[in-house]
Structure 1
């Protein structure tokens, strides 16, 4: 439901912007041609480029909130990121084109005419684009959309560029003909600067740049305060569209049961999502020891092989019939073993100490194995 509302709101404000962009572009180009204003024509071309960016935003808004599928198991949120990068590229091309054209006009400035018309169109552009900026930024903040935020600032860039155009036209009408060309060049550079900011932010997201370092430090503190968590390491975050994902290694008591370790991971996920509102996915890795420093157990045999070694040793020492269950603990580069035996193993001629001593001797003779514990039940 929330994704549908987000999509509809994004499409609605973008369609409104596209309609206004089209009308403004037509007015500016016609008025610029009639009034011989290169700055106003450049501003009109800028508005036509907005139509292309609006189309990109509409496409991304439609697909970014689709559910995950087989081809996109992590969802489609980065459609927004790619769209934002696309907007930046479009803006850069437009800015360079405007500057190139304006430099050519500087050598042969035109005398402006139809002053009332061109000044009115420039003023209309400033007003309408500023209104569009505030309307779009409101939707962007409501639904936390960087893509809509980028489009909002695109509208703001139009308003700012129209202010520059207005000043240039006014100066040209008062005898400073070169001001129209200078205004066009300034507009071009403003567009490129906005494109750089949008493009750099989108690129950071595409290369999995972390969220703010202070937020990461606070998130680490929040997780570390949870009951059962003894250490937090390898905490990583990244943005995917408007959302945040994270993965973290949490160190717990190495002798906890698997189910209790799982409950701790659930608590970690809940606490992380409560702290970071935009966090939608957390991968929690439960560690019995800090594997960020070293991995001392990597060389040890896995469970099936380790049990085969143990069972063979128990059989050779004629004590395999006593053991009901074996639990292994991979810690500090050794395999520590818990033996579970039936109470019937305890008799007048076989005490706990004798059983412990026998099993200890068997395990001590094996490489890679460490301490043992014996439980009866």
Structure 2
């Protein structure tokens, strides 16, 4: 039940990002068209993809809260990871489009200098997104939510993108009109980079990948449990915002069932308390 409540709290961060992206994308696109800024236009298109990505994350989080059923004995927690994967595809498609437009404008630059209003709009958007990032990164750490952590990383990238747009537009005011489309190209690269990072993390989790260093720390914790003679095997995987661990340990063959069971409970308690593991399956074998 605690995991489901945490997912519901995570939705607050996704809703905040969605609202911010809707307002800022509309503002940027309108100002960009009026001021003639390629960099701000690219930034606005970036936020428009973030609307879709945030919506996908919300759908994934909502599905993740569904309880286990006959076909999903472990629950639906991985739905949020699938949503993140879908969002990465959307982001890379638009990122490539923005990159193409930026390069085209750079090769054939427009001599018109963007209005300074575009620069102040970009700077305002950067401040807003940095505030959203701070909220979401704190929320992700509190709830240990990988989905909201990904949202927060996207928020931070958007803040940096807007700062880059501000610099490019400001530079164009000093007789460097090519700097604005150049910044638009950089924005496209940043969108693609963010999409790649989300894709890599999502596919890593969906294929049961797990950090080897963290697994070694868990093994050290289990080895400290009184009664554990040897760790024969230990595996871990990510299931949504949950960590699942399977381990086989060797104990003294003279122990009875109750004593062996006490060791399994001690292992479970230590992994849950020290490593925030959601579910532990311990198999006991005699030494």
TM norm. shorter chain > 0.5 = yes
> In the superposition, relative to structure 1, how do residues 270 and 23 fare at CA in structure 2: closer, same or farther (>3 Å)?
closer
Shift of residue 10 of structure 1? 2.4
Partners of 2:113 and 2:177 within 8 A in 1: no
1:173 equivalent in structure 2: 173
2:135 equivalent in structure 1: 135
RMSD value, Cα: 2.0
- Shifted more, 168-177 versus 223-232: the winner is 223-232
Shift of residue 86 of structure 1? 2.3
Which has the larger helix fraction? 2
Listed one character per residue, the Cα deviations across residues 222-256 of structure 1 (whole Å, up to 9, x for unaligned) are 32333332221111112222221111111123343
**What's the secondary structure of 1:170's corresponding residue?**
helix
2:263 equivalent in structure 1: 264
Q: What TM-score, normalized to structure 1?
A: 0.71
2:286 pairs, out of 272, 276, 288, with 288
**What's the secondary structure of 1:285's corresponding residue?**
strand
> In the superposition, relative to structure 1, how do residues 3 and 272 fare at CA in structure 2: closer, same or farther (>3 Å)?
closer
Shift of residue 113 of structure 1? 5.4
Listed one character per residue, the Cα deviations across residues 75-110 of structure 1 (whole Å, up to 9, x for unaligned) are 222122222222322222221111111111123322
CA distance in 1, matches of 2:4, 2:246: 28
Partners of 1:253 and 1:288 within 8 A in 2: yes
1:199 equivalent in structure 2: 199
2:70 equivalent in structure 1: 70
> In the superposition, relative to structure 1, how do residues 46 and 218 fare at CA in structure 2: closer, same or farther (>3 Å)?
closer
Partners of 1:130 and 1:155 within 8 A in 2: yes
| Matching of residues 103-142 of structure 1 within 5 Å | 103-112=103-112, 115-142=115-142
CA distance in 2, matches of 1:218, 1:35: 55
Q: Which runs of 5+ in 2 are unaligned?
A: none
Partners of 1:35 and 1:112 within 8 A in 2: no
Listed one character per residue, the Cα deviations across residues 37-72 of structure 1 (whole Å, up to 9, x for unaligned) are 111111111111111011011111212233222221
> In the superposition, relative to structure 1, how do residues 216 and 124 fare at CA in structure 2: closer, same or farther (>3 Å)?
same
CA distance in 1, matches of 2:183, 2:273: 49
Q: What TM-score, normalized to structure 2?
A: 0.92
Partners of 1:111 and 1:172 within 8 A in 2: no
1:225 equivalent in structure 2: 224
CA distance in 1, matches of 2:97, 2:126: 22
| Matching of residues 141-152 of structure 1 within 5 Å | 141-152=141-152
> In the superposition, relative to structure 1, how do residues 84 and 176 fare at CA in structure 2: closer, same or farther (>3 Å)?
same
| Matching of residues 229-248 of structure 1 within 5 Å | 229-248=228-247
Which has the larger strand fraction? 1
Shift of residue 14 of structure 1? 2.1
| Matching of residues 1-377 of structure 1 within 5 Å | 2-3=2-3, 5-112=5-112, 115-213=115-213, 215-277=214-276, 279-289=277-287
Q: Which runs of 5+ in 1 are unaligned?
A: 290-377
CA distance in 1, matches of 2:4, 2:252: 44
Q: Which is bigger in relative contact order (C-alpha 8 A, separation at least 6)?
A: 2
> In the superposition, relative to structure 1, how do residues 187 and 43 fare at CA in structure 2: closer, same or farther (>3 Å)?
same
Partners of 1:81 and 1:147 within 8 A in 2: yes
1:328 equivalent in structure 2: none
Partners of 1:36 and 1:111 within 8 A in 2: no
